[in-house]
Structure 1
Amino acid sequence: MKAYLKRILLFVICIACMQSCDDYLEVTNPNEISTDTFFRNLEESNRILTGVYGSMLNSWIVSAREEAWRSDMAFPGIREGNIAINALNYYQHVILEDNTFINDRWQALYQVIWRANELIDGLNSMDDSLKSQQEWTNQMGQARFFRGLAHFYLHSLYNEGKIVIRDAVPANQEEIQKTLSTSEEVIEFFREDLLFAYENLPPTFFDRTRVTAGTAATILGTSYLYSASQNPEDYQIAKRYFEDVINGPYGYKLVQDTSIMFVEAGDYNSESIFELNYTTELQLEDGSFDEESFATRNGRFSAPKDAGGASVNEQFTAAAWLIHAYSNEPLNTSDPRNTVTDRGTGLTRLRKVSLRASAMIAMVNDEDTEYYLSPSAPNKVNFSGKQRKYGFFKKYTNHDIAENEIEKGDTNFKSGKNVILNRLADVYLMYAECLLLGDNDIQGAIDNINPIRERWGLQLLDINADLVTGVPYTQQSLMDHLMFVERPLELSVEGVSIRAIDLRRWGIAKERYTDLSTQPYYVIDYEYYNDANAALETSADSFVQQGISPDPDNDPQLIQEYTGAAQFYTNGYLVLPTIETLNNPAVSGSN
């Protein structure tokens, strides 16, 4: 049975950023957690810790759909007709301070901080006999991890890192109306929390849902990699943390059985470092937009309509360049996994697309992977539809265990699919980047990229001949491969804003959107084997090709993507939301 976190009823926690300051100060909240009442022992504080974990299930923290639109990964809705205005704003990087997305996300992250601070305050109020126990240290390490993590996310996403540090539950109006801290101050604060977690948490817990020292090392390393573009010496610090994650006592290993990647059978696999644990087995009666529920809406927003996905403009589907890239990954022809038996002819042939592509995305030319219990993607999905959606992300859908998303939660708004925020493959790639840019170690970087490619049955990189030109890799050409091939294809729509942050920290976002806005793509017919009819059938105008269509009437040109992002992209940060600027006079007018 799928593991899950049981929800602890915490009454209604008073969230400062969700209330007016005056209400909080003038009214005694009978539902506010009292450390005198709830922290008499470590069993009670552990229930509060579970509430901290529960606050991470808020879908706005990951915002997979909105961040896919905001990066270079996805297209918003249909390619034929008008795009919904909210989706267009994200896609074009025109996101104002009153936007629901940035307000809800800000609230969600500060709710994590609020709950972590309540736990920290309560643990600190315990007597010495409790503080001397290892369980006290474990709980404090987890609480400080989440407080640090939420500040790290806020720093990475908003206002060039200048945010409000919330280091305690506010006791008066002055503590609520705090000013913005500098980016440097925020970095120092969240790294101190994460370092405490790293030094005090065990390498493993029996409960795989819990964060460990390895989780903290991953986030610490990531934070130093993010700052290394401004402080190159940080590559060395990041490298030390990544080396520890890869070689340390945490038990992380790259998954070799690719069939369990991003499916229920692979929950909490050996590669998973930090995973959000959703379920539809508890409190299914909760509303579809109840962020205290255990379900996520991402299945609806990324599944095809034929399998219970949203229609028209609510989805995030793969960008044309990404579909084309997945379709053309070079296979290692000597890997036996890449040889399959054609269901139509009975003869052996090479796979139509790579194992990595099959795990990440559904496309018309993937005839070798089941999809929503159908023999292949084109057997399930009408890729010829007027909506012109040609690639569907798999990381958030129940394509492995259901014919339709509705089956798993009584509505397609509710999915129990787990969400992986950090995994070992990402650490390998970040470590490779440290070696490449910090040490100019091209071979070392390749040695950390190739294990990922090998497990997918892809051609390995050779320092003497790059995959495109055949000439030896240089630092720049290998970095280009990392930026435009390896990281986006391995980590597409994954984690918390990974791709958008990558483009920004590399200083290439504007250039990237400008380049994509000039890249033409068109679609042609694709012939596939229809198992129900035991015959070849044609999916018209469904197979993405790069270039100018030689026959636009029969092979239509796709609308140009990313033209708005190329025009409007600024610095890649979200502005301060009105939930803060209107309720906190100390930051009003800071945008």
Structure 2
Amino acid sequence: MKIFIIRLLLSISCIATIYSCDDYLEEVNPNEISADTFFQNLDESNAILTGVYGSMLNSWIVSAREEAWRSDMAYPGIRDGNIDNRALNFYQHVILEDNEFINDRWNALYQVIWRANQLIEGLNGMDSSLQSDQRWTEQMGQARFFRGLAHFYLHSLYNQGRIVIRDAAPSTSEEFSKPLSTSDEVMAFFRADLVYAYENLPASFAEKTRATAGTAATILGTSYLYSASDNPADYQTAKTYFADVINNGAYGYSLVQDASIMFTDAGDFNSESIFEINYTVAQQLEDDNFDEESFFTRNARYSAPRESGGSNANQQFTAASWLIYAYATEPLNLSDARNSVFDRGTNTIRPRKVSLRSSAMIAMVNDEDTEYYLAPSAPNAVDFGSNQRKYGYFKKYTNHTIVANENNTGDISWKSGKNVIINRLADVYLMYAECLLMGDGNVQGAIDLINPIRQRWALQLLDANSDLIDGTAYSVQSLMDHLMFVERPLELSVEGVSIRTIDLRRWGVGSSRFSDLATRSYYLTDYEYYNDENDALESRNNSFVREGISPDPSGDPQIVQEYTGAAQFYTDGYLVLPTSETLNNTSVSSSN
């Protein structure tokens, strides 16, 4: 499947040119072939559609590292070390309009819109015989899906949703200069595009890289969930779309039961994947590390351990202390056979050290039951403690199941072909559960959607009459707390497009969350593990995260307090309008 989209992208690389504002506003691009001369048949327009998909390769759209810092998921650099100022700005929520990241991300999303508009205009210019072809409808559905999707992301990320609606590709400065629209106007616009896609796209394509009606339904449902805090009736609309995604067998979605393939190459485009960005290191490795049209990503470099090809301290995102501790203490269902494992040191059967979910999501020192970078376990592969002072590495963007070092995938660790999952079914289950809980007050219905996910990971199931904390019956609020601070962050950590940052904002808990985390204390102890190479027990010093105040700070050091800056500076979780727009668009100013 990777080869299919690679060939298509290569075939249109000479015509699907990226333009800066100056490029496409100030001069005619001699390489551009206009829609009226190019779109003579649906094969040619399909090549331009592939260019729209290609624009999604831009890593700034997901911005996994920066959004990890901006949420409550990750810590930048090493503890007790200097934090790079750029990383510190995200971590403390002090991001100004001239920040390179928010400009690059804004431009990347409008590039998707610009290409989609080119395709829409070209398709609309075709004669009636072509417009009656099913392929025309499918191409138009995908073009409008991506135009709607990019507007949805911009609306969710920037300026309280007040952004510029671009329903046509501007060809002059005058056409480029458009005022901001209200949040409601933007929602109406992108939902119209997404509804068109939902109603006109098939349930599936032979090419799994393509957006389908199920993809459109997922984004539509998500958009209504995001607005339900202001309009509770939107919970009901969101439920309709989520129920379709879960129950419509034509889509072919189902929760993956083989936990070992989650977030691995073996799990590319699995039954749980709804929308996935396709990367590879099989083509164009000569491209620059920061070429956003390349087929590789930098995510592995930013999230792998240094011993395994990861970057230096100031460039990385590693798990926050609270998250490491939460993963390490997830309650297992001990009656599930998957939680009984063979101990290589004692040659006996014992319970797993950490949950299957934990093992799939992050690497930490006490996971002795999962291979990591081809080593028998995480502590066999990584120091974690004294030297690194990084206690949890995210796995979702790394190649830890196929190589011993990230340099072995794309010559250097800057270049990874690991796919990036944007939307998957587990998220839809949890969003549907939230709708039942907050829209209907249906505690049992919400639990019935959460438990299949927990069952997949062999976790202790939720019981409406006995919660996991004190054994009392779940209320709407206590189950919502579990959803907000346990289920969603542990299932969806550093995943998708800003999922966690948006969740904290739409729930109205961002400020209180960071204030709470800023008061929590964690410390480190040594961890004794079985070293397979030496056939002996050895210790990883100061590597195991414990909650509370250290009883022996000289021997078991306290971890530096986290999120104190975010507790002070967090506002509403939105990014401000970037200077790339306010300086070039005369109808918009930085005061808007």
TM over 0.5: yes
Secondary structure, counterpart of 2:421 in structure 1: strand
| Deviation by residue 1:529-558 (Cα, 9 ceiling, x = unmatched) | 000000000111000000000000000000
Deviation of the 1:74 alpha carbon: 0.1
Distance change in 2, residues 1:590/1:11 (3 Å): farther
Write the distance in 2 (CA, Å) between the matches of 1:12 and 1:129.
25
Structure 1 residues without counterparts, runs of 5 or longer: none
Partner of 1:510: 511
- TM alignment of 1:445-456, pairs within 5 A: 445-456=446-457
- Letter matched to residue 274 of structure 1: F
Q: Indicate yes or no: 2:439 matched with 1:438.
A: yes
TM-score calculated relative to the size of structure 1: 0.98
Contact 1:528 1:536 in 2 (8 A): yes
Partner of 2:470: 469
Write the distance in 2 (CA, Å) between the matches of 1:387 and 1:26.
50
Deviation of the 1:107 alpha carbon: 0.7
| Deviation by residue 1:422-474 (Cα, 9 ceiling, x = unmatched) | 00000000000000000000000000000000000000000000001100000
Contact 1:3 1:277 in 2 (8 A): no
Partner of 2:320: 319
Contact 2:16 2:51 in 1 (8 A): no
Contact 1:317 1:392 in 2 (8 A): yes
- Letter matched to residue 492 of structure 2: L
Write the distance in 2 (CA, Å) between the matches of 1:153 and 1:261.
25
Deviation of the 1:12 alpha carbon: 5.8
Write the distance in 1 (CA, Å) between the matches of 2:312 and 2:4.
30
Distance change in 2, residues 1:28/1:516 (3 Å): same
Deviation of the 1:169 alpha carbon: 1.1
Secondary structure, counterpart of 1:366 in structure 2: coil
- TM alignment of 1:292-371, pairs within 5 A: 292-371=293-372
Write the distance in 2 (CA, Å) between the matches of 1:89 and 1:163.
23
Contact 2:17 2:32 in 1 (8 A): yes
Partner of 2:539: 538
Partner of 1:498: 499
Deviation of the 1:281 alpha carbon: 0.4
Secondary structure, counterpart of 1:5 in structure 2: helix
TM-score calculated relative to the size of structure 2: 0.98
Write the distance in 2 (CA, Å) between the matches of 1:360 and 1:205.
29
Partner of 1:11: 14
Secondary structure, counterpart of 1:326 in structure 2: helix
Partner of 2:198: 198
| Deviation by residue 1:380-416 (Cα, 9 ceiling, x = unmatched) | 0011233310000000000000000010001100000
Distance change in 2, residues 1:520/1:329 (3 Å): same
Write the distance in 1 (CA, Å) between the matches of 2:449 and 2:3.
31
Distance change in 2, residues 1:38/1:184 (3 Å): same
- Letter matched to residue 378 of structure 2: A
Deviation of the 1:26 alpha carbon: 4.8
Write the distance in 2 (CA, Å) between the matches of 1:87 and 1:5.
34
Write the distance in 2 (CA, Å) between the matches of 1:105 and 1:335.
44
Write the distance in 2 (CA, Å) between the matches of 1:237 and 1:286.
44
- Letter matched to residue 195 of structure 1: V
| Deviation by residue 1:4-43 (Cα, 9 ceiling, x = unmatched) | 5222334365656x223xx645532212231123211000
Partner of 1:136: 136
Q: Indicate yes or no: 2:249 matched with 1:246.
A: no
Contact 1:4 1:277 in 2 (8 A): no
Partner of 1:223: 223
Distance change in 2, residues 1:26/1:226 (3 Å): closer
| Deviation by residue 1:71-92 (Cα, 9 ceiling, x = unmatched) | 0000001112210000000000
Secondary structure, counterpart of 2:323 in structure 1: helix
Contact 1:75 1:319 in 2 (8 A): yes
- Letter matched to residue 265 of structure 2: E
Contact 2:2 2:278 in 1 (8 A): no
Partner of 1:588: 589
- Letter matched to residue 82 of structure 1: N
- Letter matched to residue 341 of structure 1: F
Distance change in 2, residues 1:534/1:241 (3 Å): same
Contact 1:522 1:548 in 2 (8 A): yes
Deviation of the 1:106 alpha carbon: 0.5
Contact 2:24 2:171 in 1 (8 A): no
Secondary structure, counterpart of 1:408 in structure 2: helix
Tell me the matched-pair count. 588
Write the distance in 2 (CA, Å) between the matches of 1:488 and 1:25.
42
Contact 1:13 1:33 in 2 (8 A): no
Deviation of the 1:238 alpha carbon: 0.1
Secondary structure, counterpart of 1:75 in structure 2: strand
Deviation of the 1:125 alpha carbon: 0.3
Secondary structure, counterpart of 1:389 in structure 2: coil
Write the distance in 1 (CA, Å) between the matches of 2:285 and 2:314.
26
Write the distance in 1 (CA, Å) between the matches of 2:551 and 2:253.
49
Q: Indicate yes or no: 2:251 matched with 1:264.
A: no
| Higher mean C-alpha deviation, range 36-45 or range 236-245 | 36-45
- Letter matched to residue 281 of structure 1: A
Write the distance in 1 (CA, Å) between the matches of 2:566 and 2:228.
26
Superposition RMSD in Å: 1.1
Deviation of the 1:2 alpha carbon: 5.0
Write the distance in 2 (CA, Å) between the matches of 1:75 and 1:26.
42
Q: Indicate yes or no: 2:107 matched with 1:104.
A: no
- TM alignment of 1:144-159, pairs within 5 A: 144-159=144-159
Write the distance in 2 (CA, Å) between the matches of 1:170 and 1:199.
28
Distance change in 2, residues 1:524/1:196 (3 Å): same
Contact 1:15 1:114 in 2 (8 A): no
Secondary structure, counterpart of 2:368 in structure 1: coil
Write the distance in 1 (CA, Å) between the matches of 2:382 and 2:572.
38
Contact 1:14 1:29 in 2 (8 A): no
- Percent identity reads 73
Partner of 2:62: 62
| Deviation by residue 1:499-555 (Cα, 9 ceiling, x = unmatched) | 000000000000000000000000001000000000000111000000000000000
Contact 2:221 2:237 in 1 (8 A): yes
Secondary structure, counterpart of 2:590 in structure 1: coil
Write the distance in 2 (CA, Å) between the matches of 1:507 and 1:55.
33
Contact 1:327 1:353 in 2 (8 A): yes
Secondary structure, counterpart of 1:421 in structure 2: strand
Write the distance in 2 (CA, Å) between the matches of 1:463 and 1:474.
8
Write the distance in 1 (CA, Å) between the matches of 2:179 and 2:214.
33
Contact 2:26 2:172 in 1 (8 A): no
Q: Indicate yes or no: 2:180 matched with 1:177.
A: no
Write the distance in 2 (CA, Å) between the matches of 1:174 and 1:356.
52
Contact 2:25 2:176 in 1 (8 A): no
Deviation of the 1:202 alpha carbon: 0.2
Contact 1:157 1:573 in 2 (8 A): yes
Contact 2:2 2:279 in 1 (8 A): no
Secondary structure, counterpart of 2:514 in structure 1: helix
Contact 1:332 1:457 in 2 (8 A): yes
Write the distance in 2 (CA, Å) between the matches of 1:190 and 1:44.
26
| Deviation by residue 1:251-299 (Cα, 9 ceiling, x = unmatched) | 1000000010000000000000000000000111100000010000000
Partner of 1:573: 574
Contact 1:308 1:405 in 2 (8 A): yes
Contact 2:224 2:238 in 1 (8 A): yes
Write the distance in 2 (CA, Å) between the matches of 1:252 and 1:294.
26
Partner of 1:382: 383
Partner of 1:168: 168
Q: Indicate yes or no: 2:409 matched with 1:396.
A: no
Write the distance in 2 (CA, Å) between the matches of 1:25 and 1:209.
32
